[in-house]
Amino acid sequence: MPPSSNADRRVGLLPRLALFWRQAPLGMQIGIVILAVHLVVAATGPFWAPYGYSQMRAGMPLSGASWAHPFGTDQLGRDIFSRVVHGGHIVLALALSGTLLGLAAGAVIGLWSGYVGGWIDEVVQRLIEALISIPFLVLALMAIATAGPQWSGNPVLIVLVVALVYAPRIARMARASAVEIATRDHVTVARLRGEGAFSVMRRELLPNATGVLLVEFALRAGYAPVLVGSLGFLGFGLRPPTPEWGLIISENRALLIVSPATVIGPGLALASLVVGLNLFTEGLARILGRTVRLGAQ
C-alpha cells in the first residue's frame, strides 16, 4: 500500500503532481514529456497545421523533405507533415477509446467471473481462452470482415475491434486478481452482510484490483496505436483521405524510392508515441510495485 490517503489529499493538486514527478523514474519522466508533446499536438494541431489534411498541391508533388515540407509531399502534392499533425487526435482517440472500452468490458467480465466462480466461471474462462487463441491481428481482421462492407472505414468499428481484441486479455488478468481478492476477509464480511455480487465487485474487488487494471490499461494502450496503424496499413482501417498514420505509411510505401521522408515522418510519429507510452507504462508498473512485460500479447 502506498502511503497516500488522508494526509495527502489535503495538499493541492499541483504540489502533489510535483512530488509525483520527482519520485518518477527518469524513463517515466521522458515518457511523460513525449506523451505531453503528442497530446498538445493532437489537441491543437488542426488549428496551426500549415496545410489542410486533404489539401492537394500544397507543394510540388514528391518534392522530398524541405523546410517548407519537413516530411515531404505525396503524389497528390499533399503536405505530409500537416497530414501527420491532423492525424494525431484521430490515432489517440481511436486507440484510447478502444482500450478504455476493452478495459471496462474486460474488468466487469473478469471480476464477475472470478468472484462468482462455479460453472459460469468455467464457461467464461473457456470463452476467453478461445478468443485469445486467435492471434489478435487475425481476430481483428475477422471482426472487420464480419461487420461487412457497410461498416468498413467506420471509426466506431475500429474502436469496437480494439475493444474486442483487448477485452479477453484484460478479463483474464482481472479474473486472476478477483480470485485472489475474493479469499480476503473483508470480502467474506461483505458477503455475509448480504451484499449482492455486483455490490461486492464494485466496493470490495474493484478498489483492490485498481493497480492491476491500471497497468493493464497502460500496457494495452501502448500497443493500441500499433494495432490501429496495422489495420490502416493493411487497408482494413479508416478510409482515405483520413490522415491516420498507418494509412499514410501504406499510401506512400510504393514511393519509398522517390521520397522516403513521406514514410519516415508518420513512422516517427507513431514510433515516438509508442515509445512514450511504453516508458510511461514501465514507470507506472515500477511505482505500483508490479512487474510488467512490455509488448506481451
Partner 1 sequence: MTIPILVLRRVVLAAATLLIVSLIVFGMLEVLPGDVASRVLGRDATPEALATLRARLGLDLPAWQRYLDWLGGLLSGDPGVSLVSGRPVLDILAPRIFNTLALAAYAFALYLPLTLLPAMAQALTRDRAPDHALSVLTLVLLSLPDFLLATLFMLAFVVTFPLFPAISLVDQTSGLLEYLHAMTLPAVTLAIVMAVYAVRMLRDNLIEVLESDYVRMAELKGLSRLRVLWRHALPNALVPTLNVTGLNLAYLVGGVVVVERVFSYPGFGSLLVDSLQLRDLPVIEATVMIAAAVYVAANLIADVAAILLNPRLRRG
**List 234, 240, 286, 287, residue binding partner 1 (CB under 8 A):** 234
Q: Which amino acid is at 135?
A: P
CA dist., res. 23 & res. 28, Å (int): 10
User: Is the CB of residue 111 less than 8 Å from the CB of residue 182?
Assistant: no
CA dist., res. 134 & res. 128, Å (int): 10
**List 57, 126, 203, 239, residue binding partner 1 (CB under 8 A):** 126
Residues 274-293 that bind partner 1 (CB under 8 A): 274-275, 277-279, 293
| Helix/strand/coil for 108 | helix
**List 16, 184, 239, 253, residue binding partner 1 (CB under 8 A):** 253
**List 130, 156, 189, 197, residue binding partner 1 (CB under 8 A):** 130
Helix 118-133 vs helix 80-116: crossing angle, to nearest 10: 150
> Dihedral, CA atoms, 261, 262, 266, 271, nearest 10 degrees?
-40
Q: Cβ closer to partner 1: 43 or 142?
A: 142
Q: Is residue 117 near partner 1 by the rule CB under 8 A?
A: no
Q: Is residue 203 near partner 1 by the rule CB under 8 A?
A: no
Q: Which amino acid is at 267?
A: G
Q: Is residue 60 near partner 1 by the rule CB under 8 A?
A: no
CA dist., res. 182 & res. 174, Å (int): 12
Q: Is residue 230 near partner 1 by the rule CB under 8 A?
A: yes
Q: Is residue 235 near partner 1 by the rule CB under 8 A?
A: yes
Q: Is residue 131 near partner 1 by the rule CB under 8 A?
A: yes
Burial, 268: exposed, middle or buried (Cβ in 10 Å; 0-12, 13-18, 19+)? Answer: middle
Whole-number CA gyration radius for the chain:
22
**Number of other residues whose CB lies within 10 A of the CB of residue 62:** 17
Rounded to whole angstroms, what are the CA distances from 296 to 59, 95, 219, 292? 42, 17, 8, 9
Q: Angle at the Cα of 209 (from 207 to 211), degrees rounded to 5?
A: 100
Q: Is residue 217 near partner 1 by the rule CB under 8 A?
A: no
Least distance CB 139 / partner 1 (angstroms): 8
Grid cell locating 50: 500549415
**List 16, 129, 198, 210, residue binding partner 1 (CB under 8 A):** 129
Q: Is residue 71 near partner 1 by the rule CB under 8 A?
A: no
Least distance CB 294 / partner 1 (angstroms): 6
Q: Is residue 134 near partner 1 by the rule CB under 8 A?
A: yes
Q: Is residue 167 near partner 1 by the rule CB under 8 A?
A: no
Q: Is residue 243 near partner 1 by the rule CB under 8 A?
A: no
Q: Is residue 119 near partner 1 by the rule CB under 8 A?
A: no
- Which of 140, 284, 263 lies closest to 210, judged by CA? 284
**List 229, 243, 265, 283, residue binding partner 1 (CB under 8 A):** 229
Least distance CB 51 / partner 1 (angstroms): 24
Q: Cβ closer to partner 1: 118 or 149?
A: 149
Q: Cβ closer to partner 1: 19 or 123?
A: 123
* CA 105 centroid distance within chain: 15
- Which of 198, 216, 190, 1 lies closest to 111, judged by CA? 198
| Residues of the shown chain interacting with partner 1 in the complex, contacts defined by CB under 8 A | 126-127, 129-131, 133-138, 141-146, 148-150, 222, 226, 229-230, 233-236, 246, 249-250, 253, 256-257, 260, 263-264, 267, 270-271, 274-275, 277-279, 293-297
